[in-house]
Homo-oligomer: A and B are copies of this chain.
Amino acid sequence: AAGSSGGMMLEDLPKEISEALDELDSCQREIDALNEKASEEILKVEQKFNILRRPMYGNRTEIIARIPQFWLTAFTNHPQISPMIDEEEEKCLQYLRDMVVDENDDIKSGYKIKFIFEDNPYFDNNELVKDIHLPYESPEDRPSVESTEIKWKAGMDLLKVKEKKPKRRGRAWADNTVSFLEWLTHGGDPSGDEIAEILKDDMWPNPMQYYLAPEVELEANGLSDE
């Protein structure tokens, strides 16, 4: 049966083993069907709660808009995100008005992280988006990222400047040494993108805890050099 795809010749196996493999195949199909049913049921629960969350997040966005530099403050208090933001980027992120994490409606295919900016002296975009596609179901389906191309104003390209001075303040995130804007505009495989996961699963569900992060904690982490 599997011979057509160049696999193991099942018909050459001893009878008792090929019988066991047939039984295993039936058993595995039952398990697969049950796993599929479990995934569908969990997805329905997640979709239900995403709909319930939507008006609450809408309300939150309006409240956050009344707090100057809410997101930048939360970012610079976060132990993993703070070290990615260098001094020039910090000035630029003062124009960040809102962040939104928007899961795809099917949930499993990925999510978008949207950064909404005021008019600013750095670039013409009002929205920078990192659109993360995660593979599901078919094996040909590859993880991918689409990022908004930043339309820098003349002489303001922070990423170009960065190429000339590779050192950044603070510790580098994990093994990488990408800055926040480098991360935001970086394509490639999002499978191990811990910053995207932190923003989606840690920052977005409760940014207020980071906005209010006590300074003592920051000192303990060695991040209070500013």
Contact = CB atoms under 8 A, between A and B. Distances in A.
Interface in A46-76: 46, 49, 52-53, 56-57, 59-60, 63-64, 66-68
A183 to B, nearest CB: 18
A108 to B, nearest CB: 14
A63 B17 CA distance: 10
A35 B37 CA distance: 23
Contacts of A45: 38, 41-42, 45
Interface stretch (A111-119, A143-151, A208-216): A208-216
Interface in A134-153: none
A213 B35 CA distance: 21
Contacts of A38: 45-46, 49
Nearest to A40: B45
Q: How large is the interface on A (under 10, 10 to 19, 20 to 34, 35 or more residues)?
A: 35 or more
Interface stretch (A22-30, A93-101, A123-131): A22-30
Contacts of A20: 63-64, 66-67
Contacts of A64: 20, 24
A221 interface: no
A159 interface: no
A58 to B, nearest CB: 10
Contacts of A176: none
Contact of A59 (B10, B27, B42, B56): B27
A198 interface: no
A10 B28 CA distance: 58
A154 interface: no
A27 B42 contact: no
Interface of A: 2, 5-8, 10, 16-17, 20-21, 23-25, 27-28, 30-32, 34-35, 37-38, 41-42, 45-46, 49, 52-53, 56-57, 59-60, 63-64, 66-68, 175, 205-206, 208, 212-216
16 contacts: A2-B214, A7-B214, A8-B214, A10-B212, A23-B63, A24-B60, A27-B56, A27-B60, A28-B60, A28-B208, A31-B56, A35-B53, A35-B205, A37-B49, A45-B45, A175-B175
